[in-house]
Amino acid sequence: MTDADRHRAIATDGPPTRPARLVDDFTPALVDTGAHHLCPGCGEPIAVRALMEVIEDLALERRTIAVFGIGCYTAFSNNLDVEVLQALHGRAPSVATGVKRALPDTVAVTVQGDGDMVSEGLQEVLHAAARGESITCVMLNNGVFGETGGHMTATTVLGQRTKTSLEGRDPVAHGRPILLADLVARLDGAAYVGRGAVNSAGNVARTKRMLRRALETQTAGAGFSLVEILTMCPTGWFIETQDAPSYLDDNLGAVHTGGVLKDVGAGTGPPP
């Protein structure tokens, strides 16, 4: 007896024969293909999907230029139906600044990881925020350098084990994490700063509302916006895939706490 028989599972190998409408396709319109080589349970594709769906909902796809940093998520830079400019590790905010200053009617969005934005590129995001550049920076924060195999970044939390903090991050040996969204929110040029997560459907929905607010802040010309999105990285956390959502809440999310840190009120969508 197959598992399907045992559970009296419903056939899911084709569209329903009953009258029905499609409410979510395999991939959103702005993602070309769902196939990728990222790890099982990786949070980054979830965040990319969320961002692309918000861009589509706001009908911004014909104005968007997405500037990608370097990390596992770079796998999506040649897989989107929005214009993409590939930047170097840490350097997306200055590149997005050049795009937006040259073409102010575009919607400039960066997609960066925590290693990219907070380790290598901390200066770039802080200066862009201070200048109040009308760009939206999106940070996929999993607290590790995932693509290189799981090393400590500036956001790795105390006690978190990585290949460069084998006994757990120690404040004396390794210093303390930088809470990037909190840091940016203190800059006068920052107009919208939110921190979400993708470890539950509810968090994904909340994060999408933050992304919407951030993009509306940009299109209103109200200043710099940042959405930090906590993502799962069971490989870089050296844990079982199925434990990643709760590990995120218990470890990363306990330090990098979720919520809206700043909002000058330029957005019109529903509050997260």
Partner 1 sequence: MNGGRAPGSVLVRGTVVIDVDACKGCELCIDACPPGVLVMTGHDVNARGYRYPLLVAGCTACRACSQICPDFVFQVYKFDDPVELPGAPPSPGATT
Partner 2 sequence: MTGPAPVVPGPAPAQPPGEAPRRFLMGSAAIAEAMIGAGCRFFAGYPMTPFTEVLEHMARRLPAVGGVCMNAESELEAVGMAWGAAATGTPAATGSTGQGLSLMQESLAEITLARLPLVVLDMARGQGDYWQATRGGGHGDYRHIVLAPGDVAEAVELVHTAFDLAATWRNPVLVFGDYYLAHTARSVSIGPDAPAGAARPDWALTGASGGSGHAKLVSFLGSAKQRDNVGYDLSTHYAACAEHTARMLGGVTPRAECGFTDDAEVVVVAFGTPGGYVRAAVRSLRREGVAVGWVRPVTLVPFPSAVIADAARGARAVAVYENNTGQMVDDVRLSVLGAAPVEFIGGLSMDPSGFGIAPDLDVGVLRRRILDVVERHR
CA distance 176 to 199: 24
Token pair of 10 as six digits: 């419903």
DSSP string, 194-254: EEEE-SSHHHHHHHHHHHHHHHHHHHTT--EEEEEEE---HHHHTS-GGGHHHHIIIIIHH
Q: Which of 29, 30, 43, 112 binds partner 1 (CB under 8 A)?
A: 43
Find the binder of partner 2 among 28, 53, 106, 232 (CB under 8 A): 106
Instruction: Please report whether residue 148 would count as binding partner 2 according to CB under 8 A.
Output: no
State in angstroms the smallest separation of the CB of 38 from partner 1.
Answer: 7
Q: Report how far apart, in Å, the C-alpha atoms of 169 and of each of 81, 163, 188, 210 are.
A: 39, 10, 32, 30
Q: Would you call 262 helix, strand, or coil by DSSP? A: strand
Q: Is 221 in the site for partner 2 (CB under 8 A)?
A: no
Q: Which of the stretches 38-46, 109-117, 127-135, 257-265 binds partner 1 when contact is defined by CB under 8 A?
A: 38-46
- Look at strands 144-145 and 107-113 and give their pairing: unpaired
Smallest gap from Cβ 189 to partner 1, in A, equals: 32
Residue 242 as a binder of partner 1 (CB under 8 A): the answer is yes
The binding site for partner 1 (CB under 8 A) comprises 2-4, 6-10, 12-16, 18-27, 31, 34-36, 38-46, 49-50, 198, 200-201, 204-205, 241-242, 245
The binding site for partner 2 (CB under 8 A) comprises 29-30, 33, 35-37, 56, 61-65, 67, 74-75, 77-88, 91, 93-103, 105-107, 123-124, 127
